[in-house]
Amino acid sequence: NAGVTQTPKFRVLKTGQSMTLLCAQDMNHEYMYWYRQDPGMGLRLIHYSVGEGTTAKGEVPDGYNVSRLKKQNFLLGLESAAPSQTSVYFCASSTRYRQETYEQYFGPGTRLTVT
């Protein structure tokens, strides 16, 4: 099992460029999440998905879009990158029973720099 994988690992963008981050999981988890982590901060939730074809906004969704066309994949898009989006992005997945979220499994992260 590869667990949660993310591509790319590193990326440098110019302001205004667009890109898509790909997250894939092979654990058949229903829930998937995108977080960003800035220096000295914990993780902040950008968007999440409770199943194929459904997405929802998290704490800091502005400037990002997501799609979950397949259960195993969760894409994070930046339409017009800004320097404030320089960060490390983590994808995670989890199972859930009723109203309780179980442990989340994290990918290795994507380090994005916007100049």
Partner 1 sequence: SQQGEEDPQALSIQEGENATMNCSYKTSINNLQWYRQNSGRGLVHLILIRSNEREKHSGRLRVTLDTSKKSSSLLITASRAADTASYFCATQQGFAGGGADGLTFGKGTHLIIQP
Any contact of residue 84 with partner 1 (CB under 8 A)?
Answer: no
Q: In this complex, which beta carbon is closest to partner 1, that of residue 72 or of residue 105?
A: 105
Question: Any contact of residue 106 with partner 1 (CB under 8 A)?
Answer: yes
Contact 88, 36 (CB under 8 A): yes
Interface positions, 20-79, toward partner 1 (CB under 8 A)? 31, 33, 35, 40-45, 48, 50, 56, 58-59
Q: Look at the chain and count its residues.
A: 115
Which residues, at least 6 apart from 85, have a Cβ–Cβ distance to it below 8 Å?
A: 36, 63, 78, 112, 114
Closer CB to partner 1, residue 43 or residue 81?
43
**Amino acid making up residue 68:** R
C-beta separation of 23 from 32 below 8 A: yes
Closest to partner 1 by CB, 73 vs 105, is 105
Indicate which single residue of 76, 85, 104, 114 sits in contact with partner 1 (rule: CB under 8 A): 104
